[in-house]
Structure 1
Amino acid sequence: MKVLIVDDEKHVREGIKLLGEWELNGIVEIYEAGNGEEAIQLIQTLRPEIIFSDMKMPKMDGTQLLEWIKENQPNSKTIVVTGYDDYHYMRKAIHFGSSDYLLKPIDPEILNQTLGKVVKEWRKEEKERESKTTSTQLMNEMKPVYRDRKLTQLINSDNLKEELYEEFGFSKAQTYQVALVRINRKAIEAFQGDRDLTYFTILNVLNEILQEKDCGIAFRYLAHKGEIVIIFWNHFAQIEELLGQIYKAVLHTIGVACPIAVGIKVEKRNKLMGSYLHAKQVLLNSNILENAETKVYSQEVLQTPVLKNLFVYSSDIELAIQTGEIRAFEELIGKIAKDYIEGNNLSWGQLLQLENEYLVISNRWFEHYHLAGKISDHIEYRVDQFFNQNAAFQLQDYIDRTIREIAIFLRKIKRNTVQKNSNVIYEIEKYLEANFDRDVKLQEISEHFYISREYISRKFKQEFNVNISDYIVNIRIERAKALLKNSELKIYEIANMIGYQDDKYFRKVFKKVEGVTPNEYRELHMIQK
């Protein structure tokens, strides 16, 4: 805290400096002035919290100084110092908001009691000021949000309180017209992804122009992401010209174009939704391949085009997936693109439907192959990246992105198929282990695992370095050896147990594999025991 002592007598100033308990009251800076004029210069520069002032001074007396402080530095607390115990001075001091007064010669105890009381008052008032400032700031921050919510409500239901129209600067009229401004991904990226700052900036640009003409109000339409709505109540003949000005002003301010569509005029506020829906359809009908300098769209009578359907290509897509080659998709996508941009016309609505159907088909195939990592379903966010700063659609970039996604999908299928087939070979091995004692045919395995005989035979040999028939023989011989060592079963009984009905054939196979007959193997292991 800072203190200013104003008195034309230096010894009085020195006395106050000497007697005051400054540190105890949190005061770290003490300044002096010899008269009111000097005091004003210091007050303007230093903004002291506490001011001691004599009442009778040359050039500008204490009364004039107190009056100036009350007008220009009202937050400072003043303490009058006077040698005159005169009701006239006390009355003046009270009139100009002085906190207290001290009589000369100054009593140290009274000085410090007064100082402590005034410092306490200033701190209490400062806390209240800070609280009020914070509250005011919060109100200012909330006001645009409140306006947006209420005007969104107006579009949808027309139930605003009468006093709110004047508060928002909304003029009542006989006719209204709605325009729709689309805020795309590029606009938000211009503000490092800060969506609120994007809307705040654009709305400032719009409302400055609208207020100058006194013809409308713009607000963030909270019922749908990425939209600013303008309600016009005047200058209808100049709306398209005015929107062209708005379009260019936004482009100049943020470096990104935001397309605008105009709805029909309506006679009542409760029909604003009709004008909004008209503007929305006009925007959906707009040709995104058109290279117009200013993208402001209007359409008196809606002519909704028939939208093409991606699902009619489902069989072609399935055939392309079966080939497993991206070349097949490149040809198919070229054919689809040609169909969709016939006449160099592709509407915003058609693009959204195309993207939506592409996501449905893609995710269906992801599920079919049990693949993780489905494509994001944020449709507008996905397509926004293909509009440049001038809101022109980059068709080739969009096609290239689609091809890249499909190529990743095909690679996942191949990896999944390799992994699945590898797992199947080990499942087949388990199947053979469980059924070694009977004659398991390759056709049986094929039908059981839904894989061709040729594939099974080839992959099994690659994995285990032996064909299936020899693998079964090895299993049987290992079981026979265990039974020969640990049982008194007859040779023909063991042969039957491991899948050989002819014990002579079993003996022949056993000797071929082990180099000795079953009886010799048994005798050898009995001697070792």
Structure 2
Amino acid sequence: MKAIIVDDEKHVREAVKLLVDWKYFGIDALFEAQDGEEAIELIREHQPQLIFTDMMMPVKSGLELLEWLAAHYACGKTIVISGHDDFQLVRHTVKHGGVDYILKPIDAEQLHAAVSKALESWIRDENERHRQRQSNIEMNQFRPVYWEKLLSNLIAEPSAYEASAAALSQEFGLDRNVKECRLAIMTLDTMNAALKKKFDANSDLLFFSITNICNEILRAGQRGIAYRYWNSEGEIILLLFGSDDSWNQILSSIQQGMKSALRSSFDIGIGRVQPFPSGLPPAYKDARTALRRRNLLSKQKQVHLLPDPLPTQQTVISFSDYAERIRLAVQSGSPEQISKSVEEWIAAVGKLDSITLEQLELWWSEYNVLRSRWLAEWFGDQPPVLQTSMNSAPFFIPSDETGSLSIPLWKKQLTESLTELSKHLLEHQHRDQNVIYEIAKYIQNHYHQDITLQEIANHFYLSREYISRKFKQEFKVNLSDYLSDIRVEKAKLLLLNPHLRIAQVAEMVGYDDEKYFSKVFKKTVGLSPNEYRKVNQP
């Protein structure tokens, strides 16, 4: 901490220096001034927390110094040390923020108490200032998010505009006289690889940078507002005021600004003129449709205008038409066959002059539906966890370094995805075959016990349905019939022993009920146990 002693008498300054325990109060820098003018210069330079001043001094008095402190340095805490016991002087001290008024000669205890009081007051004020600064920082961080969410909400609920019209006018210059608008969407889904990598760990900073560039251009002539759209990932809204054709020049300037600042450009979709604010929902739909129907094969990032009237979008080719060939390739387990099946699909795609985002999303959806069907068919209720990009991620555009759609990359990703699926299928089939034979062996070793399908399911940690289905696929017979056949074959051998009663044989092969055993035996062999024994008696 710092302190300054202001008095035209040196011996008074020396007395104050001796009487205050500076180390105790944490004051490590002490300054002196002979008058108020010299004190002001030192205060401006060093900004001390504590100020001791006399009242009657040449050049600039303590009265004038107090007035200057109140106007220019109110955070400092002032203690007046004066030889004049004058009510007006005390009143002037209190009026201009003085902490205490001490008379000369100086009393050490009184001075100590005054310093304690002054520094406690400064610490309280400083804590409050710190809290206020933190609050302002948090408010400044929250403020853009608040406006972005409010503006985003207007697209879904334009009726909410009236409640915030005054605030929007003050913040963005959005005049109530604005009756028409255009809405543009800047999408980040095709930005170049270098920019994506640069902001990969901080997408918020990327949005902040882009909206700042846009708003510098838009607010220069109060032509609109740019903000992050919170209801859809990777979109920035450009709300353009009015209905004239200057939007083309504005968006061109924004694209140029992006190239200069970020060395990248972005696709922008813009719709038709709509009434403001009621037309915001269709305006957003227009701009989004313009983006979704742009040609992803184009290497140039540009402004895409929605035509009026809107042409009908026709499906070009369907992924489902190639599904059976691909499914058989996956089941074959051959990487070569998988590659050939994908090549057929890619060859068909490669003949197209244009591929839109709508078309790409449709193909992606078809692939996911087919893959889900295959997973259910091949793996039942225990599908594998797939890791490759097309198996684990939400929809994305397979793009090259420039951010444009890359057919070779798409081919590579699709091939990897199907190869991974095929690998899991082969492992699953091998594992299934092993476990089913283990179950068969378990039955052969425990046929004489009262084993049930549920008991087997618990033992092998598999579902009853799964065991029944796989067992039938592998052995072409139901598990219960398989168990009965084993028991009957064992019973045939035991019946050759004339000393064993039928009930004993039934119990030895796992049947508690002799009658039920006889019924099962006759159904399988065609003879009752007794008849079989007579026929096969040595």
> For 1:313, which of 322, 327, 331 is the aligned residue?
322
Q: Which residue of 1 aligns with 2:181?
A: 176
Moved more, 98-107 or 252-261: 252-261
Letter in 2 for 1:138: E
Shift of 1:315: 2.3
Q: Which residue of 1 aligns with 2:117?
A: 117
Moved more, 281-290 or 382-391: 382-391
Q: Which residue of 2 aligns with 1:420?
A: 432
Aligned CA-pair RMSD = 4.0
Structure 1 distance, partners of 2:150, 2:354, is 38
> For 1:344, which of 353, 363, 375 is the aligned residue?
353
Structure 1 distance, partners of 2:391, 2:219, is 35
Q: Given the alignment of the two structures, is residue 295 of structure 1 paired with residue 307 of structure 2, yes or no?
A: no
Structure 1 distance, partners of 2:137, 2:186, is 28
Give CA deviations for 1:243-266 in whole Å, capped at 9, x if unaligned: 122123234434454321111111
Q: Work out whether residues 386 and 420 of structure 2, in 8 Å CA contact, stay in contact via their aligned partners in 1.
A: no
Structure 2 distance, partners of 1:171, 1:341, is 50
Q: 1:343 to 1:419 in 2, by over 3 A?
A: closer
Structure 1 distance, partners of 2:392, 2:42, is 60
Within a 5 Å distance, the mapping from 1:447-486 to structure 2 comes to 449-451=472-474
Q: Work out whether residues 55 and 61 of structure 2, in 8 Å CA contact, stay in contact via their aligned partners in 1.
A: yes
Q: Which residue of 1 aligns with 2:246?
A: 238
Q: Work out whether residues 384 and 424 of structure 2, in 8 Å CA contact, stay in contact via their aligned partners in 1.
A: no
Where does structure 2 lack aligned partners over 5 or more consecutive residues? 449-469, 477-485, 510-524
Give CA deviations for 1:129-167 in whole Å, capped at 9, x if unaligned: 223222222222221111112112222222222322223
Q: Work out whether residues 389 and 417 of structure 2, in 8 Å CA contact, stay in contact via their aligned partners in 1.
A: no
Q: 1:506 to 1:36 in 2, by over 3 A?
A: farther
Structure 1 distance, partners of 2:423, 2:145, is 47
Where does structure 1 lack aligned partners over 5 or more consecutive residues? 437-446, 454-471, 508-529
Structure 2 distance, partners of 1:385, 1:35, is 74
Structure 1 distance, partners of 2:377, 2:3, is 80
Q: Work out whether residues 35 and 59 of structure 1, in 8 Å CA contact, stay in contact via their aligned partners in 2.
A: yes
Q: Which residue of 2 aligns with 1:522?
A: none
SS in 2 for 1:32: strand
Give the total of aligned pairs.
476
Letter in 1 for 2:433: N
Q: Which residue of 1 aligns with 2:420?
A: 408
Letter in 2 for 1:366: L
Shift of 1:400: 0.5
Shift of 1:388: 4.3
SS in 2 for 1:147: helix
Q: Which residue of 2 aligns with 1:57?
A: 57
Give CA deviations for 1:256-294 in whole Å, capped at 9, x if unaligned: 5432111111133111111110000000001111122x3
Q: Given the alignment of the two structures, is residue 81 of structure 1 paired with residue 81 of structure 2, yes or no?
A: yes
Q: Work out whether residues 7 and 33 of structure 1, in 8 Å CA contact, stay in contact via their aligned partners in 2.
A: yes
Q: Work out whether residues 257 and 389 of structure 1, in 8 Å CA contact, stay in contact via their aligned partners in 2.
A: no
Moved more, 120-129 or 408-417: 120-129
Q: Which residue of 1 aligns with 2:272?
A: 264
Moved more, 155-164 or 205-214: 155-164
Shift of 1:375: 6.3
Give CA deviations for 1:405-443 in whole Å, capped at 9, x if unaligned: 11111111111111111222323334545679xxxxxxx
Give CA deviations for 1:199-232 in whole Å, capped at 9, x if unaligned: 2222111111111121000112222222111111
Q: Given the alignment of the two structures, is residue 368 of structure 1 paired with residue 377 of structure 2, yes or no?
A: yes
Q: Work out whether residues 259 and 391 of structure 1, in 8 Å CA contact, stay in contact via their aligned partners in 2.
A: no
SS in 2 for 1:337: helix
Shift of 1:128: 2.4
SS in 2 for 1:264: coil
Structure 2 distance, partners of 1:378, 1:404, is 8
Q: 1:376 to 1:175 in 2, by over 3 A?
A: farther
Q: 1:255 to 1:374 in 2, by over 3 A?
A: same
Give CA deviations for 1:150-192 in whole Å, capped at 9, x if unaligned: 1122222222223222233123313211000113386665324
Q: Work out whether residues 294 and 356 of structure 2, in 8 Å CA contact, stay in contact via their aligned partners in 1.
A: yes
Structure 2 distance, partners of 1:103, 1:379, is 85
Q: Work out whether residues 183 and 227 of structure 1, in 8 Å CA contact, stay in contact via their aligned partners in 2.
A: yes
Within a 5 Å distance, the mapping from 1:2-21 to structure 2 comes to 2-21=2-21
Between the two proteins, what is the percent identity of the paired residues?
A: 26
Letter in 2 for 1:244: S
> For 1:217, which of 225, 230, 245 is the aligned residue?
225
Q: Work out whether residues 191 and 198 of structure 1, in 8 Å CA contact, stay in contact via their aligned partners in 2.
A: yes
**Normalized against structure 2, the TM-score is what?**
0.77
Q: 1:12 to 1:342 in 2, by over 3 A?
A: same
Moved more, 336-345 or 225-234: 336-345
Moved more, 418-427 or 251-260: 251-260
Q: Work out whether residues 257 and 390 of structure 1, in 8 Å CA contact, stay in contact via their aligned partners in 2.
A: no
Letter in 2 for 1:179: A
SS in 1 for 2:313: coil
Q: Which residue of 1 aligns with 2:168?
A: 165
Q: Work out whether residues 215 and 235 of structure 1, in 8 Å CA contact, stay in contact via their aligned partners in 2.
A: no
Structure 1 distance, partners of 2:388, 2:149, is 29
Structure 2 distance, partners of 1:254, 1:383, is 26
Structure 2 distance, partners of 1:332, 1:388, is 23
Structure 1 distance, partners of 2:472, 2:401, is 55
Structure 2 distance, partners of 1:36, 1:119, is 22
Q: 1:218 to 1:174 in 2, by over 3 A?
A: same
Q: 1:284 to 1:196 in 2, by over 3 A?
A: same
Q: 1:384 to 1:37 in 2, by over 3 A?
A: farther
Moved more, 332-341 or 111-120: 332-341
Moved more, 59-68 or 255-264: 59-68
Q: Work out whether residues 216 and 232 of structure 1, in 8 Å CA contact, stay in contact via their aligned partners in 2.
A: yes
Letter in 2 for 1:328: Q
Q: 1:412 to 1:175 in 2, by over 3 A?
A: same
SS in 1 for 2:30: strand
Q: 1:195 to 1:241 in 2, by over 3 A?
A: same
**Normalized against structure 1, the TM-score is what?**
0.78
Q: 1:448 to 1:225 in 2, by over 3 A?
A: closer
Q: 1:381 to 1:106 in 2, by over 3 A?
A: farther
SS in 2 for 1:75: coil
Q: Work out whether residues 399 and 406 of structure 2, in 8 Å CA contact, stay in contact via their aligned partners in 1.
A: yes
